[in-house]
Structure 1
Amino acid sequence: MADPRTIGRYQILRPIGQGGMGTVYLAEDPLLKRRVAIKVVRVTGAARHQATLRFRREAEISAQLNHPNLVTVFDVGVEEDLGPFLAMEYVEGKSLGRHIKDRDLDTETSARVLIQAMRALRAAHRRAIVHRDVKPDNILLSEEGRAKLMDFGIARTLGHMSLSPEQSLDLAPVDEDGAALAQTLALRLTSSGDFLGSPAYAPPEVLRGGEGTPASDRYSFAATAFELLTGKLPHPGGGLTEIILHILQEPVAIPADLPPAMAAVFKRALAADPDDRHTTLPEFMEELIDALPGPVSMRARLFTFLGQDEDGTGSVSTARFRLPEPAPPEASGTHDSRLRKTGPGKITLAEDPVETYLSTRRPSLHQPRPEATDWGRIMKWVVLVFLVLQLFWWLAPALSHLQF
């Protein structure tokens, strides 16, 4: 079908994305004079009704959250000739999934993206909203470096998440015939519509038919972080069936070159049992940043960023930052005795962690030396005596004429 010239009141500029069921257009709102992205789903019948409900749900959640790291939804409607549409904030950039394919983000930038996406997901959880489809393709990164979590279309509030009998997959535990079961599951996930989301990033309990919870969102977030930092899925496979089978039967596939500290963090975050995972997103990010390879200054900057407000403008908390073990002093004794102090330190994130760290290792460059302080006191007395003598010299003629 030819691209439309208008959708609702919006003037279409050009298509910017294409999917199996719809298209995303760059458009302009003539009323507010701003650019928007419009997602259109070309479906009919019952599927159109479901898509409309999904768009409305996304708009309602966007209005509730109103977070700087969430894509804002402006409008929702139905075009008779096209189908349901969603008008949302236009983010000039590309998805995290595209960045992973291009491998164009360094470690520090990747961690900053994760921190911002974590803030958005945490804001949703505070409102008892479970995203249920956290994955790299649903995180946008603008050219200015701001990450935006999107697509709350299948999100649910914790009070409205019970599955109907026809929706529940009701799977038995995977046994020796797990391959056949995984294949059956893959077919049902892709054809029946019971499962909405991305199986490659879904935890085992959700694949088995359980409800989405904040713990399952945290699993999907950790799987996204794993792929971003390693370039690989935590549960690899040549197709959906193999991936599902690996999730249900196998532990996380840790790359051989991954540092042991990072491997331990991801093993916990991607544990099959939700009770074995990190209990909060900040806890996961603290451990992950602490385990990242790289200079101390990089981790210090990331801990500072992690401790800032939701909009990144100020400090609201402190975080533990494990300092590296200092080298032992040389036999010559020229090193300061303070270098022998070891152990983790607490850093107030309102300060510069690098400067705080350095100030505990050496005297401050701005601290005056004792010799300089003594000379300053001497000069003050010299100036004072000079002023007194000068005053006496000016007043001496007048005083000599006074008669008592």
Structure 2
Amino acid sequence: MSQPEAFGRYRVIRRLGSGSFATVWLAQDDLLNYPVAIKVLAENWAHQMDIQHRFLEEARILRQTDSTWLVAVHDVDVLPDGRPYMVMTYADQGSVADLIRRGQLPLDEALRLLTEIGQGITVLHNHGTIHRDIKPSNVLLQSSPVGQRVLVADLGFAKSIDEASGFTAAAGTPGYMSPEQSIPGGDLDVRSDVYSLGAVAYELITGRPPSRPPVRVPPGRIRPGLPPALDELILSALSVDRESRPADAKTFTDRVRAIRMAPDLPKAVPWWQRYRMPWQRTAALLVSLGLVVVSATASAGDPGVSLTPVRYATQRLRVEVPATWAREFATGREVLPAAADHASRPGVLAATHADAWHSADAHSYGVYATVVPEGGAPSGVADTEPCGTAPNERSLDAGGWEGTVWEWPDCNGNGALSGAAVRRADAPETVYLEIRQPQYRPDLVNEIIGGVRLG
């Protein structure tokens, strides 16, 4: 198919890829000034009503689920020649398959991706749908204000769980599909997707897909030093006997998450260090010990030095946030109790546990920021005593911002809390921030405030 100029109001930029049933184009929505991906049914299937029905069913499922972990469908239409097309989220960072081809992933990163893929499949299962074609190339990656989002895509083979018995044709991709999927008329359930999740997990961890079933070589033999629980989980998911697999995607994902959050995970020595010459191994061990300390601290919420920008367009607000704090991101959050009586407005929150931000006994580290209208500066924050004691108060002059910082070096045993009300000499608005840290670091508070931008 030659490149068209447009699909409706969407101006075509270039082709992203094509498969047996469809071609995907990158296009620009000039009305909203936003890039989109447009999936168009291939010309040779234009008059196959069953294929058209499958194409539109994919769009319906994605539209109805409307999940953070799935590609979103914004619109569906039909070309003059009768072929349907759907307008979808554009994933600007390619796919997980692209990521794997660049080299072996750090273990924590592989488990993060696997957790998010599992969450997407869990959403589908809760919706009553089996994906049937889970593989790295069908998991897309999109930029977000706090890093990278995983988007499960390509539901062309998806079927209702209620209709998952007696399929007349095999469907899926060899190497990732469960053994029962290769048998026409086989009885399928959500455990077929669990097998595929196990195959994706194997490749994420080792850099190579599993062998044909039965899979007998554990990932730890290819990448020594893996937690035994991870080997056990992946091999159980890849079991030929589906009764031996985890019951569903949620069960599988919960176990991956528990492995990832185990305190001893960063202590595993990377596989490639085990095969160096002795003098190289000694040097590598010293480096890895340093990395373990950093990783263990980061898992507790200590930010290290890497900052990532978080934006809140409604208030034209941009804040630099320690990357390891920005695991969860929310905008429009209501003002926090410490400033509730001081005319603040909903703002932006980036934190390790966003839902626990208001809890007095939860360890949640991050940054909350909001713009306060002229005349509404929360100067009485210290009087609220959110930590049960009076704060240390200091003046601030950093990055063009001037104001007051109230600090509680130990807030109810949950680390340090800092509140700040700052403004620039050339702007009428005040920015109110709350910064929660695992340890008291006023230098980091100054750095975060100095990086705030308005406009």
TM-score (norm 1): 0.61
Quickly say closer, same or farther: Cα 1:159–1:296, change in 2 above 3 A.
farther
Cross-structure match for 1:336: none
- Render the CA deviation track for 1:357-379: whole Å, top value 9, x for unaligned: xxxxxxxx959xxxxxxxxxxxx
Task: Look up the match of 2:203.
Answer: 227
**Partners of 2:55 and 2:28 in 1: how far apart?**
20
Counterparts in 2 of 1:303 and 1:16: CA distance versus 1, 3 Å:
farther
Give the Cα–Cα distance (whole angstroms) in 2 for the partners of residues 270 and 12 of structure 1. 41
- Structure 2 distance, partners of 1:153, 1:117, is 17
Cross-structure match for 1:199: 174
The Cα of 1:85 is off from its aligned counterpart by 1.9
Larger-gyration structure (1/2)? 1
Helix, strand or coil: the match of 1:199? coil
* Equivalent position of 2:64 in the other structure: 64
SS in 1 for 2:62: helix
Choose from 268, 274, 280 the match for 2:242. Answer: 274
Aligned-pair CA distance for 1:352: 5.7
Sort the Cα spacing of 1:17 and 1:302 in 2 relative to 1 into closer, same or farther, 3 A: farther
Contact 1:269 1:284 (8 Å CA) reproduced: no
The answer as to whether partners of 1:271 and 1:277 remain within 8 angstroms in 2 is yes
2: CA distance between counterparts of 1:119 and 1:302? 21
* Distance in 1 between residues matched to 2:297 and 2:176, nearest whole Å: 30
More divergent stretch after superposition (209-218 vs 220-229): 209-218
Distance 2:183 2:329 in 1: 34
Preserved CA contact (<8 Å) 2:36 2:90: yes
Render the CA deviation track for 1:51-82: whole Å, top value 9, x for unaligned: 32122112211222111121101222332448
* Counterpart contact for 2:20–2:42, Cα < 8 Å: no
C-alpha distance in structure 2 between counterparts of 1:20 and 1:45, whole Å: 9
Alpha-carbon distance change, 226 to 71 in structure 1, aligned in 2, over 3 angstroms: same
Q: Which residue of 1 aligns with 2:363?
A: 351
Structure 2 spans left out of the alignment, 5+ residues: 268-291, 302-323, 331-349, 366-408, 412-455
How far apart are 1:8 and its partner, in Å?
A: 3.0
Distance 1:316 1:32, change over 3 A: closer
How far is the alpha carbon of 1:230 from its aligned partner? 0.6
Does residue 156 (structure 1) correspond to residue 150 (structure 2)? The answer is: no
- Identity of aligned pairs, percent? 29
Q: Are 1:43 and 2:43 counterparts?
A: yes
Match of 2:194 among 201, 207, 218: 218
Q: Is the 8 A contact 2:107 2:205 kept in 1?
A: yes
| Residues in 1 aligned to 2:95 and 2:361: alpha-carbon distance in whole angstroms | 30
- 1:220 is aligned with what amino acid? S
In the aligned structure 2, how far is the partner of 1:310 from the partner of 1:124?
23
User: In structure 2, do the counterparts of structure 1 residues 250 and 269 end up closer, same or farther at CA, with 3 Å as the change threshold?
Assistant: closer
| 1:108 matched residue in structure 2 | 108
Aligned Cα RMSD in Å?
A: 3.4
Residues in 2 aligned to 1:71 and 1:131: alpha-carbon distance in whole angstroms: 13
Offset of residue 50 of structure 1: 3.2
Where 2:175 maps in the other structure, the secondary structure is helix
Tell me how far 1:159 sits from its aligned partner: 1.6
Q: Aligned pair in 2 of structure 1 residues 229, 21: CA closer, same or farther (>3 Å)?
A: same
Whose helix fraction is larger, Structure 1's or Structure 2's?
A: 1
TM-score (norm 2): 0.55
Runs of 4+ displaced beyond 6 Å: 299-305, 308-313
Aligned equivalent of 2:341:
none
What corresponds to 2:2 in structure 1? 2
- Count of residues paired in the alignment: 285
Change (3 A) 1:112 1:298: farther
Please give the alpha-carbon distance, in whole angstroms, between the structure 1 residues aligned to 2:297 and 2:180.
36
Aligned to 1:79: 79
Distance 1:256 1:137, change over 3 A: closer
For residues 112-148 of structure 1, give each alpha carbon's deviation from its aligned partner in whole angstroms, at most 9, with x where no partner exists: 2222222211111112221111111111122331111
Q: Which residue of 2 aligns with 1:284?
A: 255
State the SS of the aligned residue for 1:94.
Answer: coil
Identify if the C-alpha distance between structure 1 residues 159 and 128 changes in structure 2 by more than 3 Å, giving closer, same or farther: same
1:251 corresponds, among 206, 216, 232, to: 216
Sort the Cα spacing of 1:70 and 1:202 in 2 relative to 1 into closer, same or farther, 3 A: same
Aligned equivalents of 2:130, 2:42: Cα separation in 1 = 27
